[in-house]
Amino acid sequence: MPAGEARYIKKKVKTGTVDIHPTDNCLVVNYEVEAFILGDDGQPMIGDSKKCQKLIRFHSLNPSTNCAALAKDVIAKCKLIHPSKLNEVQHLLSYLQYRRQCVPAMLVKSTDTVVDVNPFEETSKSGEKANLLDLEDYIELLYDEVPDKIKGSHLILLLCKDASNLDELTKNESLASVLSRVLREDWKKSVDLAVNLVGIFEKFSEYSAFHKVVLQHKIGSLCIEIISQELKSGVVDVEPIKDDDKGKSFRSKLPVRRNVKSALITELPKKSQIPVVKSDRRHSMIEDQAKSIVPEPSNSRKRDQLLAVCFSLLLNISESERIEDKIRKRNVVALLAQSLGRKSIQLLSVVLRFLRKLSVYKENIDSIASLNVIDALPRILLLTTKENNDSIADDLLPLLHNLSFERQLCEQMIRVGFLPELVKLAEKYKSMATRRKYVLTLLYHFSMDDRVKSMFAYTDSVNVIIDMLVDARTGDDPILKALCVNLALNNKNSQTLCDHRVISAIMEKAFNEKDAVCVKIVRNIVSHSNTKPMFEIYASEMAKCVKLYTHSHQNFAHECIGFLANLSTTDVDFNALFKKFQLFPLIKRCFMEADYVHDDIRLELLMLLGTVAYDESMSECLFQNDILALLIKLIKDKQEDDEVVLQIIFVFYQVLQHPLTRDYVTKHTDAPLYFIDLLHDNSPNIRKLCAACLDIIKDFDDAWTERVKTEKFQWHNSHWLEMIRNQMLSSGNVERTDDETEDVLPKYDLFQQSLMFQSGSHLSLSVDASMEMMNIINSEESSQSISEYNSDADFDVEFPKKISTPFEERYDLHDDFDNLVLDESSKEL
């Protein structure tokens, strides 16, 4: 028609249905486009219509995604969906979210996040759209020169991006063979060609059903060769250091203790294996060609893309343990470590996910440690904190989480300065459950080392934790509570935690929900002398909980008893508390009935008795309620449990400080004989405490003075006396009368029958039994709350020998015994 007959063309879009893609993770929006040519009168003269589809892909859809918010975002950005279909879109997204977890293995992608080669290109560079019907023509292009091969491979790659085409492509018998041959022969000639060809196989590797195509043509082995060659020949582009950052390092700025034996840095760090300069290529076969080629500015980006696609393919096919082991044996960990020096976010994301997958095996962790991978990670972490690139955090934090279970790597993370950066991330991600979990777990692993607890005080970590504890959304996080338990063992941290908001929130939750962990936090705070007076007001409520819940909620009662046991050197009237809540009958029942409570409750009760026995009136109450007689029976029944024996002896040590109870213990019980017998115990701490008790007894009772001196002489010279005894028994030519023998040996026979042990030997505890006791004593519930990484310190405690010792010194002595740790290294045989 003549041009003047039409004034303008009108275009109209009609929205249609919204469906779900059959295999891919996307929505299909159906719509119809109508075009009309209008005449002078405004009426359509000629018209046509075309049905179209638009795909909305969701790469990051996961079980924690908020489908309601995502549906609103989709409707706001896609004008083809009417707002009235909000509920329908939300329902479809929920179905996609469910299908992602339950879809059959044949259609499931082998990795959640996939490297998208040229993600924004839907057509070839020449503007030609890929059509499955023209596949044979694209294959023919692979037999021509390099430019045609690039064009043909790119068109095939576009076809592979549609998951519905993959099954049809695998039916072509020659396609995979041609692609693998061209890749093997020509990948060095063009980076674009290599990216396209590897990208095609990478699309197949996303689905488990098509892994056989990749494995049959040995593409994985070829990818490892490509990666090795690229890392050897290419220049590693390390992110440039700014002028204001020069001279700075990633080492932590926190002070390090000067004690050489307990210092965190025990050896100089090894030199990182990650190259930052061009490798020696004098022996390369393509050296002559490389000299004549001037690299383009974008060449580095393309090479990073090639590495990313190769690593992604290897990651996808490694879902089989057999294939993963083959890849590991090709030294893939070293290749991944070298790639950490690049600055491509896409490449770093794939490398971190690959390392995360490998880090679940011990041999891979050893390789990661030997290659100093940790030293390369702070630069990547800065991308999260400084550039707000949260996507890289989703890959980095799980890797750090896996590696932090190794103590050596955990210390290395602290040395390179991860602690302050993770504190920043904890504040940033406190409303994001998954990321917060990883950050708090890392901080918890750091806090397990006693040497690192003090380092938290020089960061803002405690204040961040306080805000999270009082926040209703995060206050119930078990990892957060466990972190507080560890940090409260440090004096500076505990002072910061003594915020009225925190204490009120913790105590309210503890009493309302019978939360043992909350009480454990407060118990550890009270273990420091300068924080004890602040918690005297809770003593009555804790005693009430001990009375009510010792049998029904034993874990909760266990911590409540420990809280009261830590309230030494305070003005708490324990006499009134014990009478008000009738705790003495409860304690007697716990000691007399074996099945009433578990042994940890009994141990905590012994520690509580050791705390209250410093008061003379409470010491007399122990005597009047027959508690001391029960303790003598218990020390015989639990003779193989060193921690129980130690706490019982400490109760007697406190009781011996007061005249009335000292006279009762000395003259009306067998306790002194047990002290003498325990002078030969395997535990040095028990021997020291028994010696201190005997010193008090001999100073105030002349009848025991000579006996104690003789026994201590035999104890101190037992090895020499044993040698003399053996010489006398083995000497057949020397005969002595009984009087002569009596003159040689001390007054009391070293080998007399023991009161405690029925075997006749003072050393009736075997070495194996002693070893078992050490393991029991070092458990978390068996004594005062201590860190898992407790130093093997040898406590040298001086015991007062006179009753005139002031109260304060006896309090300090009690604290020393509360903190005694019996371990294998301090055992004397």
Residue 732: predicted pLDDT: 52
Q: What mean pLDDT is predicted for residues 440-450? A: 95
Closest CA to 774 of 689, 685, 692: 685
Q: What one-character-per-residue DSSP string does 473-503 give?
A: TTTT-HHHHHHHHHHTTSHHHHHHH--HHHH
More confident residue, 112 or 536: 536
Under 8 Å between Cβ of 449 and 485: no
Residue 100: predicted pLDDT: 56
Nearest-angstrom CA–CA distance, 21 and 24: 6
Nearest-angstrom CA–CA distance, 687 and 794: 14
Q: What one-character-per-residue DSSP string does 636-693 give?
A: HHTTT-HHHHHHHHHHHHHHTTSHHHHHHHHHHSSHHHHHHHGGG-S-HHHHHHHHHH
Residue 293: predicted pLDDT: 33
Decide: helix, strand or coil at residue 632: helix
Closest CA to 380 of 397, 367, 357: 397
Q: What is the pLDDT of residues 391-437, one digit of tens each?
A: 889 999 999 999 999 999 999 999 999 999 999 999 999 888 899 99
pLDDT at 797 over 80: no
Q: What mean pLDDT is predicted for residues 582-589? A: 93
State phi, psi for 449 to the nearest 5 degrees: -90, 125
733 — pLDDT class (breaks 50, 70, 90): very low
Q: What is the pLDDT of residues 236-266, one digit of tens each?
A: 443 433 434 444 444 444 344 434 333 333 4
- The residue behind tokens 């407060």 is 522
Q: What is the pLDDT of residues 631-660, one digit of tens each?
A: 999 998 888 899 999 999 999 999 999 988
CA 360 to chain centroid, in Å, comes to 13
Residue 388: predicted pLDDT: 67
pLDDT at 596 over 50: yes
- The residue behind tokens 């590693």 is 236
Name, in order, each residue with C-beta under 8 angstroms of 61's C-beta and a sequence gap of 6 or more.
25, 70, 93, 96, 97, 100
Closest CA to 274 of 389, 386, 383, 355: 355
Judged by average pLDDT, the poorest of 61-65, 418-422, 571-575, 800-804 is 800-804
DSSP character for 789?
B
What are the C-alpha distances in Å from 702 to residues 667, 698, 705, 804? 12, 6, 5, 18
Query: Which amino acid, 116?
Result: D
Nearest-angstrom CA–CA distance, 769 and 563: 31
Nearest-angstrom CA–CA distance, 798 and 607: 20
Judged by average pLDDT, the poorest of 99-103, 485-489, 595-599, 687-691 is 99-103
Query: Which amino acid, 591?
Result: F
Judged by average pLDDT, the poorest of 361-375, 436-450, 657-671, 700-714 is 700-714
Q: What mean pLDDT is predicted for residues 490-508? A: 88
Cα 458–Cα 463–Cα 469 angle in degrees, nearest 5: 140
CA dihedral 501, 505, 508, 513 (to 10 degrees): -170
Nearest-angstrom CA–CA distance, 597 and 114: 55
65 — pLDDT class (breaks 50, 70, 90): confident
Under 8 Å between Cβ of 155 and 144: no
- The residue behind tokens 């804790």 is 542
pTM of the complete model beyond 0.95? no
Closest CA to 428 of 399, 401, 460, 475: 460
**Residue 516's CB: how many other CB atoms inside 10 A?**
17
448 token code pair: 């397990």
Residue 152: predicted pLDDT: 93
Nearest-angstrom CA–CA distance, 80 and 76: 10
Q: What mean pLDDT is predicted for residues 517-530? A: 93
470 token code pair: 């009082």
327 token code pair: 């890849």
Nearest-angstrom CA–CA distance, 268 and 228: 30
Q: What mean pLDDT is predicted for residues 70-86? A: 86
Residue 322: predicted pLDDT: 92
Residue 523: predicted pLDDT: 95
pLDDT at 734 over 90: no
Q: What is the largest CA-CA distance in the chain?
A: 147
Under 8 Å between Cβ of 440 and 397: no
272 — pLDDT class (breaks 50, 70, 90): very low
Percent of the chain whose pLDDT exceeds 90: 42
Decide: helix, strand or coil at residue 39: coil
74 token code pair: 């989709």
Question: Which ranges constitute the DSSP H helices of 669-752?
Answer: 671-677, 684-700, 702-716, 718-730, 738-744
Angle between helices 191-205 and 219-233 (to 10 degrees): 140
Residues recorded for the chain: 829
Residue 391: predicted pLDDT: 83
Nearest-angstrom CA–CA distance, 375 and 378: 7
Q: What mean pLDDT is predicted for residues 206-217? A: 92
More confident residue, 331 or 237: 331
765 — pLDDT class (breaks 50, 70, 90): very low
Name, in order, each residue with C-beta under 8 angstroms of 716's C-beta and a sequence gap of 6 or more.
none
Q: What is the pLDDT of residues 679-717, one digit of tens each?
A: 888 899 998 999 899 889 888 877 787 777 777 776 666
718 — pLDDT class (breaks 50, 70, 90): low
Domain ranges of the chain: 3-103, 613-826
774 — pLDDT class (breaks 50, 70, 90): very low
239 token code pair: 């992110």
Nearest-angstrom CA–CA distance, 428 and 2: 66
Residue 348: predicted pLDDT: 94
State phi, psi for 90 to the nearest 5 degrees: -60, -40
Kindly report the average pLDDT of the chain as a whole number.
77
275 — pLDDT class (breaks 50, 70, 90): very low
789 — pLDDT class (breaks 50, 70, 90): very low
Decide: helix, strand or coil at residue 119: coil
CA 801 to chain centroid, in Å, comes to 47
pLDDT at 300 over 70: yes
Closest CA to 194 of 205, 214, 175, 179: 179
- Strand 8-20, strand 44-57: pairing: unpaired
Q: What one-character-per-residue DSSP string does 189-227 give?
A: T-HHHHHHHHHHHHHHHTBGGGHHHHHHTTHHHHHHHHH
